[in-house]
Amino acid sequence: MASTEGGNWPHRAWRLLKIVLGGRPGRISEGTTATWTASREVLQVKVALLDIEPTIWRRLLIPGHHTLAELHDAIQVAFGWEGWHGHLFTVRGREYGSRDPAEVAGARDERIPLAKLDLKPGTSIRYVHDFGDNWVHEILVEKVLVPEEPIVAPVCLEGKRAGPPDDSGGPLGFKHLLKALRNPKHPEHRNLKEWVGTDWRPETFRLDEVNAKLRDTFAPAEAPPTRKAESSERHPRG
């Protein structure tokens, strides 16, 4: 299997795209390096959590018509974050956040389409999740792709390691958490093991589970059921 690090897409990625595209894995043109001009363009990004070794990262496809706010939602799902903390994007020195007054004052509205941010391969975006724990991510734009069929939801192509649990104390707290979990004799081992739960394993990344959650998160709203027209035929009373 070829690695995307070398520029080729793994077979697994095409299978995922086939699911998202409704059974039609559109061919991708990698020749586009110009700025975003069409909503059919797709951004391939690598999101890496900084200050942690080995690195925790995800490679995502994000539709060009999606906003920074939707990119935030995709990252939350991809890393297993719960979405209840504040966050902030920094793009070329400009800060973007939510309109919640409890968030960063003076930040620009993050409901801006990625297509309007002039993102090109090599562009780096800073993303901070949880101002208390201060989880800092680098979002690196790797490619601008043009599928023959539009991608309607973000897709995770690959990644490494599980995302840290929310409220685990940032990089230093996470390091302490792993140390305690690995040592049954650590005084906090039992309590922290119960806190993270039996399903969380630091070295395990579940790609299929992430993509299932992405599809659920970005599923289009279903139209309300259509009421069947009542028959105009009058039935005789018995």
Residue 210: both structure tokens together: 């992430």
SS (H, E, C) 128-174: EECCCCCEEEEEEEEEEEEECCCCCCCEEEEEECCCCCCCCCHHHHH
- Rounded Cα distance between 116 and 106, Å, is 20
Q: Residue 214: count other Cβ atoms within 10 Å of its Cβ.
A: 22
Nearest Cα to 150, choosing from 31, 67, 28?
28
- Rounded Cα distance between 157 and 65, Å, is 19
Residue 119: both structure tokens together: 């993102």
Q: Sort 87 into a burial class: Cβ within 10 Å, 0-12 / 13-18 / 19+.
A: buried
Q: Does 190 fall in a domain?
A: no
Q: Does 169 fall in a domain?
A: no
Per-residue model confidence (pLDDT) at position 219 = 82
Domain that holds residue 81: 8-164+204-217
155 contacts 16 by C-beta, under 8 angstroms: yes
Q: Does 228 fall in a domain?
A: no
Q: Does 144 fall in a domain?
A: yes
Looking up residue 87, the CATH number of its domain turns out to be 3.10.290.30
Domains identified in the chain, total number: 1
Tens place of pLDDT per residue across the chain (238 aa):
333 333 444 444 545 555 444 433 333 333 333 333 345 789 999 999 999 999 999 999 999 999 999 999 999 999 999 888 899 999 999 999 986 655 677 789 999 999 999 999 999 999 999 999 999 999 999 999 988 887 888 999 999 999 999 999 999 999 999 999 999 999 999 999 999 998 999 999 999 999 999 999 998 755 445 444 444 444 444 4
Q: Does 36 fall in a domain?
A: yes
Q: Does 118 fall in a domain?
A: yes
- Rounded Cα distance between 69 and 77, Å, is 13
For 34-68, the pLDDT digits (tens) are 333 345 789 999 999 999 999 999 999 999 999 99
